[in-house]
Amino acid sequence: MRRSRPLIAIVGRPNVGKSTLFNRLLGKKRAIVEDTPGVTRDRHYADATLFDREVTYVDTGGFVPESREDPLAADVRLQAQAAVEECDVVLFVVDARTGVTAGDEDVARYLRKTEKPVFLVVNKVDGFRNEDTLLADFHGLAIGEPIAVSAEHNNGIDDLRERILVKIPDAPLAPPARTRAVRHAEREAVAEDEAAGLEPEEPGPKDLRISIVGRPNVGKSTLVNALLGEQRVVVSPIAGTTRDPVDSHLDYQGRHVILTDTAGIRRKAAISQKVEGFSVLGALRAVENSDVTVLVLDATEAGVDQDMKIAALAEEKGRGLIIVVNKWDLVRGKKKEEDYRAELKWYLKWVAWAPMVFIAAKDGHKVEKVLDLALQVFDQQRFRAPTPMLNKLLEHVTTEHALPMAHGRQLRLYYVAQVAAVPPSFAFVCNMPAEVPDRYKRYVSNYLRSTFNLRVPIRMFWRERPGKDKRKDVGNRFKARAASKRRR
């Protein structure tokens, strides 16, 4: 994982305000906040600027006393401990309203064994008049001087930031803000280079952002862990384990990849809890922010209506799409892959162009193929069609299948041009664009895909030839002259 910024882990027992503090330090809402214990479960990383330094904050799930741990709580605790082991500074958050609890003492005992700098952050101090008396009890945790804050109301946060900065003197400097004057100077420099005939520098390869989406309990988190080769996110047979979108970084074939694990997306009518609603919204935003969407299906119950809706969402947003059929080891001997593929393509016919791969994430079977396909799809989204090939394509479609008549006039295609990429977009110019039948548009779309082997979303625009008003005006003048001659 590529990271040179200092890591600042935020830990503590459940429901003390860790995610609220995380959002406050970032200056924006990134983690789900709800007055319910156990909302956060995975390690949640986010880059930020601490005054003039670059840092990374890590939100974690709550430490639960070992004597009362269930299997899921134990996994959450391990994720929090992993954050402590890799971080540079620890923020140990406690709740001023409840005072010192057995859970706080359990976390304090663990942190005293580490050699990391630890700040004891007493949250929720708003409403208390005597702050010194309030903090006195927390000295008994033997962590250090308590720091009183109210993450919700932004009290004491600047003091906390200053203390953190002292512990990370080697943090990299943040780049200067790109003001309007800086952007203007950059545009002028580009214009000068173009005037001098200089070629602009090619930008380096862009990071590839992949969102892993699907219904609950189809194996999204298992796939992420298999791709990373580590237990990065909590995996549990309990549906809805993942809540916040969780970013993970890896390098693959010389490219930097950001994997975003998301919460399971259920039907709107089936969402009963407010937390789940926030989780689903986070998953939908992850699709919008991604370059490639990986839709994970359960091989034992693939092709349900919700799968089709999630796939349609990715297509609507113009994102590359890969269909991953997980748990293939459970049905591999019962159903041939060719038959299963054909059945799914028929059911998901609106995205039948999307590449499909069959994996067993739990065993790591063929999981690398997901990244291989993602790189191919990512590059193909930036496809540019050669103009001569587009001209040949137009000649072929109009020769093989001429457009029908409309209102007694023959529909005509004049030319086609690619007008954009990501997704590849094509403009077809004709005499009556509103009259082109949908079946003919599908025919042209399929021929475009087969000609250029496109396995990404495409957009087609049907436009009228420029100068319609001018041609109409010339025609009216011609008719007027002809009528005048007849009257003579």
* Weakest mean pLDDT among 267-271, 287-291, 292-296, 424-428: 267-271
Instruction: Kindly tell me if the per-residue pLDDT of 276 is higher than 50.
Output: no
pLDDT (tens digit per residue) in 402-442: 888 888 888 888 889 999 988 999 999 988 888 999 999 99
Query: How does DSSP assign 114-155, residue by residue?
Result: S-S-EEEEEE--TT-S-HHHHHHGGGGG-SSS-EE-BTTTTB
Chain-centre distance for alpha carbon 455: 20
Question: Over the range 81-98, which residues count as b (16 or more CB within 10 Å of their CB) and which as e?
Answer: bbbbeebbbbbbbbbbee
Rounded Cα–Cα distance for residues 107 and 138 (Å) = 13
Instruction: Kindly tell me if the per-residue pLDDT of 218 is higher than 50.
Output: yes
User: Environment class of residue 303 by beta-carbon count within 10 Å: exposed (0-12), middle (13-18) or buried (19+)?
Assistant: middle
- What is the token pair recorded at 317? 């947003």
pLDDT (tens digit per residue) in 91-110: 999 998 888 998 899 999 99
Mean pLDDT of 147-167: 92
Instruction: Kindly tell me if the per-residue pLDDT of 273 is higher than 60.
Output: no
- What is the token pair recorded at 59? 């939100």
Check residue 275 and give its pLDDT.
45
In the structure, what pLDDT confidence band is assigned to residue 278 with cuts at 50, 70 and 90?
low
* Weakest mean pLDDT among 124-128, 157-161, 317-321: 124-128
In the structure, what pLDDT confidence band is assigned to residue 445 with cuts at 50, 70 and 90?
very high
Enter the pTM of the model: 0.74
Average pLDDT, the chain: 82
Backbone φ, ψ for residue 20 (5° rounding): -65, -45
pLDDT (tens digit per residue) in 318-362: 999 999 999 998 887 777 888 888 889 888 888 999 999 999 999
Q: Is 242 helix (H, G, I), strand (E, B) or coil?
A: coil
In the structure, what pLDDT confidence band is assigned to residue 89 with cuts at 50, 70 and 90?
very high
Q: Which residue has the higher pLDDT, 328 or 467?
A: 328
Mean pLDDT of 229-257: 75
Mean pLDDT of 187-209: 62
User: Environment class of residue 163 by beta-carbon count within 10 Å: exposed (0-12), middle (13-18) or buried (19+)?
Assistant: middle
349 Cβ contact list (under 8 Å, min separation 6): none
Q: Which residue has the higher pLDDT, 230 or 141?
A: 141
Q: Domains of the chain by range and CATH? A: 7-167 (3.40.50.300), 208-380 (3.40.50.300), 387-470 (3.30.300.20)
Mean pLDDT of 189-198: 58
Check residue 65 and give its pLDDT.
61
Check residue 350 and give its pLDDT.
85
In the structure, what pLDDT confidence band is assigned to residue 270 with cuts at 50, 70 and 90?
very low
In the structure, what pLDDT confidence band is assigned to residue 164 with cuts at 50, 70 and 90?
very high
Given a contact cutoff of 8 angstroms between Cβ atoms, the answer to whether 88 and 7 are in contact is yes
Helices within 233-304 (DSSP H only): 274-289
In the structure, what pLDDT confidence band is assigned to residue 467 with cuts at 50, 70 and 90?
low
In the structure, what pLDDT confidence band is assigned to residue 310 with cuts at 50, 70 and 90?
confident
